[in-house]
């Protein structure tokens, strides 16, 4: 890869991992502040150990795949994953989804932690603090591991991707624990927007290559894709902001939104809901808010490979399909 695409890879991994680290640190701070720091740190250690085992198993398995299959797999996962971030970021930027508020999340986690009873298990003084930290580190860390493995393996830049990830996690962790409060001033939503653009662009690039397409400009095409996806995403924000203004003038639309948020989205806890949350995490991790995007990406991959054999040129199909899919998904979501 060229130095420019190496830089894009580093920035992508760093920003994505920084976002996940902010969310994990917020959870651990809540567990330690409201409950027991020793148990919380043991949960962190257990989460990191679990992640190390997962990476140790998944890393070599991924690296053994043929390069074409690897590009399709990684490109598809990155594309679906990146579009989830991008879709949410566009909805937040246009006012259809509330901004991510680490202060509120911290307060909610602290309140829930203080309300829970204290139970000791297998040598852990406070099981709630342990499990809260463990789940926070594991779930957020899985996304970090996914990003490092996919970016690093496919471009033989595991070292560079690992340095970017470790740098982000260390910086965020030190800042969080030195300040002893959630990093609410970190521009997390802007970072997610940027990461969504970067992951989507790399996903398009590698996915199309895996399907047999040849990019004009070779690796430099990544930079063109980043500019193209970014410009289109900001255009969608402008369009949806205008649409939002028109909808806000309609009192009936406002009432339906209020009813949907307050009545149809109750919050509850318990073991069953914890299991459901874990299953929902994996569904959201792989599929996202709109299953039609994932299905459309698969169809677009097949079309790219078929057109390549028929016309000799098919690199343009996946970018077009991606932007049509996210546009359709956003229009549907904002019409509800």
Q: Is 217 left (phi over 0), alpha (psi -120 to 50) or beta?
A: left
Amino acid 259: pLDDT: 38
Average confidence score pLDDT of the chain: 76
DSSP 98: P
Amino acid 273: pLDDT: 59
- Could you give phi then psi for residue 209, rounded to 5 degrees? -60, -40
CB 247 within 8 A of CB 253: yes
Q: Which string of DSSP letters, residue by residue, matches 131-177?
A: HHHHHHHHHHHHHHHHHHHHHHHHTT-HHHHHHHHHHHHHHHHHHHH
The tokens for 222 are 């990544």
Question: In this predicted model, which residue has the larger pLDDT, 146 or 100?
Answer: 146
Long-range own/partner contacts, residues 37-40 (CB < 8 A, 24 or more apart): 37/129, 38/125, 38/126, 39/124, 39/125, 39/126, 39/127, 39/129, 39/130, 39/133, 40/126, 40/129, 40/130, 40/132, 40/133
Question: In this predicted model, which residue has the larger pLDDT, 229 or 182?
Answer: 229
b vs e for 297-312, b when ≥16 Cβ sit within 10 Å of the residue's Cβ?
beebbeebbebbeeee
- 229-287 pLDDT per residue, tens: 999 999 999 988 888 776 666 544 444 443 333 333 334 444 465 566 667 766 776 67
Query: Whole-angstrom Cα distance, residue 328 to residue 307?
Result: 23
- Per the listing, tokens 């996919």 go with 150
- Could you give phi then psi for residue 64, rounded to 5 degrees? -80, -10
- Per-residue pLDDT for 313 more than 80? no
Give how far the C-alpha of residue 76 lies from the chain's centroid of Cα atoms, to the nearest Å.
14
- Per-residue pLDDT for 302 more than 70? yes
Q: ∠ CA(146), CA(148), CA(154), 5° rounding?
A: 95
Query: Whole-angstrom Cα distance, residue 280 to residue 260?
Result: 20
Query: Whole-angstrom Cα distance, residue 72 to residue 5?
Result: 19
């Amino acid at each position: 890869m060229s130095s420019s695409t190496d830089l894009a890879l580093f920035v992508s991994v760093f920003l994505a991992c920084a976002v996940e680290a902010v969310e994990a640190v917020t959870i651990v701070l809540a567990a330690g502040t409201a409950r027991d720091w020793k148990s919380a740190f043991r949960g962190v250690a257990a989460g990191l150990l679990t992640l190390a085992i997962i990476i140790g198993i998944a890393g070599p398995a991924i690296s053994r795949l043929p390069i074409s299959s690897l590009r399709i797999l990684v490109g598809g996962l990155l594309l679906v994953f990146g579009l989830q971030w991008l879709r949410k970021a566009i909805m937040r930027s246009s006012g259809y989804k509330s901004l991510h508020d680490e202060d509120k999340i911290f307060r909610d986690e602290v309140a829930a932690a203080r309300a829970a009873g204290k139970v000791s298990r297998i040598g852990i003084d406070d099981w709630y603090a342990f499990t809260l930290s463990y789940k926070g580190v594991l779930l957020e860390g899985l996304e970090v591991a996914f990003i490092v493995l996919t970016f690093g393996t496919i471009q033989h830049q595991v070292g560079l991707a690992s340095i970017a990830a470790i740098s982000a996690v260390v910086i965020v962790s030190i800042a969080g624990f030195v300040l002893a409060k959630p990093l609410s001033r970190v521009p997390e939503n802007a970072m997610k927007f940027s990461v969504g653009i970067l992951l989507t662009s790399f996903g398009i690039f590698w996915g199309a290559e895996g399907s047999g397409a040849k990019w004009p400009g070779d690796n430099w095409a990544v930079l063109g894709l980043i500019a193209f996806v970014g410009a289109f995403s900001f255009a969608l924000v402008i369009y949806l902001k205008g649409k939002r203004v028109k909808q806000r003038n309609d009192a009936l639309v406002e009432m339906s939104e209020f009813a949907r948020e307050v009545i149809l989205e109750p919050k509850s806890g318990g073991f069953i809901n914890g299991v459901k949350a874990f299953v929902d995490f994996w569904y959201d991790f792989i599929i996202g808010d709109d299953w039609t995007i994932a299905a459309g990406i698969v169809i677009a991959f097949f079309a790219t490979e078929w057109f390549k054999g028929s016309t000799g040129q098919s690199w343009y199909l996946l970018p077009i399909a991606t932007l049509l899919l996210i546009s359709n998904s956003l229009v549907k979501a904002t019409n509800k």
